[in-house]
Amino acid sequence: MSDSVTFRGPVSESAAPQAPAPEPQTPDTPGDTDVAPIALYSELKGRPYAADHFKVSDIWDMNEGMQADLIDIDGYYRDLVQKGDLQDGKDSYKQFIKQAEKVTDTKNANINLKIAKIAEYAKFMNRMQDIERERDRWQ
């Protein structure tokens, strides 16, 4: 073996290269959906996030039934976020939809049936919350 082996010494933190700070994104930048909360998505984009999630953003407003269903789904999600039951974000929204698909047994259903059933589930859950609030008010 050779005695000329040299090991690296410790690197001081001030000498470490600094990564440039990422530019803050505004709603006009292409990546704004990563930054914008899902609960505010419809105000920023002009369509419910469910339209993008279910990949029907091109046709969501051509069918009044689908439009109302997607708005109902997002409305229920917003209510859960405002109550503090869910955190606002894409991962949380995916889990919310996954749970709704499980409850409504629509994991493998076509997209129209899936949206309609999840919307009915959201309406039902909203009615249940209204009944609970009314009950609590009178007790």
pLDDT one-digit tens code per residue, 25-82: 434 433 444 446 887 888 888 899 999 999 998 888 888 889 999 999 999 999 999 8
- The token pair at 49 is 């996030």
* Residue 116 lies inside a defined structural domain of this protein: yes
1 domain-assigned: no
Determine, yes or no, domain membership for 61.
Answer: yes
* Residue 21 lies inside a defined structural domain of this protein: no
Is position 10 within any domain?
Answer: no
- Say how many domains are in the chain: 1
pTM above 0.85, yes or no: no
Judge whether 22 lies within some domain.
Answer: no
Domain that holds residue 65: 32-138
**1 pLDDT higher than 70:** no
Report the half-sphere exposure of 81 (CA within 13 A, side-chain side). 19
Q: Is 100 within a domain? A: yes
- Tokens found for residue 18: 């600094």
**Pair 50, 88: CB distance under 8 Å:** no
The answer to whether residue 12 sits within a structural domain is no
Q: What is the mean pLDDT of the chain?
A: 81
What is the reported pLDDT for 62? Answer: 87
